[in-house]
Amino acid sequence: MHADDTKQSPKDVHRDPDYYFEDGSAVILVQNMLFKVHRTILSRDSSAFETLFRLPSGKQAVEGTRDSDPVILQGDTPEQFRSLLWSLYSLPHEIVEAGPPQDPGEWHGFDRFSNLTQIAHKYCFKSLEIWSLGTFLKWLSPSSRQPPPRIHTSTAMSLRNASAEPEVLDRLQRVLELAVLCEDELLHDAVVQRLLDELRSHDADLPWFIGLGERFNIQTLSGAAYYALMIQGREKWLTLAKDSKLTHDQLKLTREQLAKLHNGYYALVSRWERYRSMQPTIPPCVHYGHSCRQRWQAYWKELTKDDLIMTRFPADVLGKLETVLSQLYAYTGIMDMHQECRGKAVQAVRSLLAETKDGLAANFVDLP
């Protein structure tokens, strides 16, 4: 935010049609666009402009009082600065109308709020930043969209051959970038959850989800994306790694990602063998002594040999555990255990499933 020695020629500079006010007191140049606005408006919210306008000018002419000597903003675009001015000058009903509608897919003001959030953060308009971040949170709220699919079930992992709307994914990535920039944990968590919902409904963009998760170190996202792609089989991996018809690089697998898929496959096959050899632990039965634990051990071995388990994809540990749970409810043999112990056995399998989901990313790593 300063004057530049390399002035643009007057013929290259244009006055903004909406925010060049004749009674304005501050002339600001953003790229090739001149804005003339009011210093009192830009000084709101204890912004960086308040500090700028208080700087002594000495004997020199005050910067920003005429077109030939504007305040020059570096690194911004006219669209970003225009979005900031829109938020400062608009009437209340105009602000309300620009927010996310009932159908978030039709939010035409998304780019405006994206620009606003970034420039408000840069120039310390804290209240505007909080408000615009909250608008994105409203856009992501479950009440504004269809309920998400069931989390990480084997059925949900049998993904459809359909791509998510590119604009939706681009917008989600942008909101994630803004949440990281502004260190907004609530928005960060909300957009990650929305990304997971999109991932569970589409498979054509899985390498994109993997790349995004790795770029921002979001292990829940990268782990879920690797897993969803892994259970589609090696032929699918190789197609995504080699298919020259894919025009978007983010939809291709890199050599490193392909290696992680292979490593994850073998790690999860080994993990299932460990699970199968040792049943989830339940506490001693206060009613039947050790008999419930012994029966649970025998039932676990029998359940994990069921045809529904053995015919699943070898590394589909989540699907196998979910199948065990469904079979457990219908398994008559478990009725020999005390009711309290039966409940603890079910909870032990649920806990093992949750632990496995949470640690998915740790399986898809480079070998040392």
Report for 98-102, 125-129, 165-169, 338-342: range of highest mean pLDDT: 125-129
Those residues with Cβ within 8 angstroms of residue 224's Cβ, 6 or more apart along the chain or in another chain: 152, 196, 199, 200, 209, 360
For residue 245, what are its two tokens? Answer: 């018809």
Mean pLDDT, rounded, of the chain: 84
Question: Would you identify the CATH topology of the domain 1-140?
Answer: Potassium Channel Kv1.1; Chain A (3.30.710)
Q: Which residue has the higher pLDDT, 29 or 146?
A: 29
Q: How many Cα neighbours within 13 Å face the side chain of 345?
A: 28
pTM of the shown model: 0.82
114 has pLDDT over 50: yes
150 has pLDDT over 70: no
The torsion angle over the Cα atoms of residues 318, 320, 326 and 332, rounded to 10 degrees, is -150
163 has pLDDT over 70: no
- Given this model, what pLDDT does residue 79 score? 97
The average pLDDT across 203-215 equals 91
Q: Hunting for tokens 């008999």 — which residue is that?
A: 291
Q: Mean pLDDT check: name the lowest of 52-66, 108-122, 353-367.
A: 52-66
Q: Which residue has the higher pLDDT, 296 or 194?
A: 194
pLDDT tens column, 17-27: 999 999 999 99
Q: Which residue has the higher pLDDT, 55 or 318?
A: 318
Those residues with Cβ within 8 angstroms of residue 26's Cβ, 6 or more apart along the chain or in another chain: 36, 37, 38, 39, 42, 49, 53, 64, 65, 71
Say what percent of the chain tops pLDDT 70.
Answer: 81
162 has pLDDT over 70: no
Reported as a pLDDT band with limits 50, 70 and 90, residue 160 is very low
266 has pLDDT over 70: yes
Contact (Cβ atoms closer than 8 angstroms) between residue 244 and residue 321: no
Nearest 5°: CA angle at 321, between 158 and 271?
100
54 has pLDDT over 90: no
For residue 82, what are its two tokens? Answer: 């225009």
The average pLDDT across 171-195 equals 96
- Given this model, what pLDDT does residue 200 score? 82
The average pLDDT across 320-335 equals 79
| CA 42 to the chain's CA centroid | 32
- Inter-CA distances, 317 with 147, 297, 299, 320, 352, Å: 26, 19, 18, 5, 10
363 has pLDDT over 80: yes
Q: Mean pLDDT check: name the lowest of 62-76, 131-145, 148-162.
A: 148-162
Reported as a pLDDT band with limits 50, 70 and 90, residue 153 is very low
Reported as a pLDDT band with limits 50, 70 and 90, residue 75 is very high
The torsion angle over the Cα atoms of residues 312, 318, 321 and 326, rounded to 10 degrees, is -80
Q: Which residue has the higher pLDDT, 283 or 332?
A: 283
Give the H/E segment covering residue 61: none
- Given this model, what pLDDT does residue 142 score? 65
The average pLDDT across 60-81 equals 87
Domain regions of the chain by residue span: 1-140, 146-253, 278-363
The average pLDDT across 298-311 equals 90
352 has pLDDT over 80: yes
Question: Which bin fits 2, alpha (ψ -120 to 50), beta or left (φ > 0)?
Answer: beta
Q: Which residue has the higher pLDDT, 54 or 172?
A: 172
The average pLDDT across 320-347 equals 81
The average pLDDT across 44-65 equals 75
- Given this model, what pLDDT does residue 295 score? 85
- Given this model, what pLDDT does residue 203 score? 76
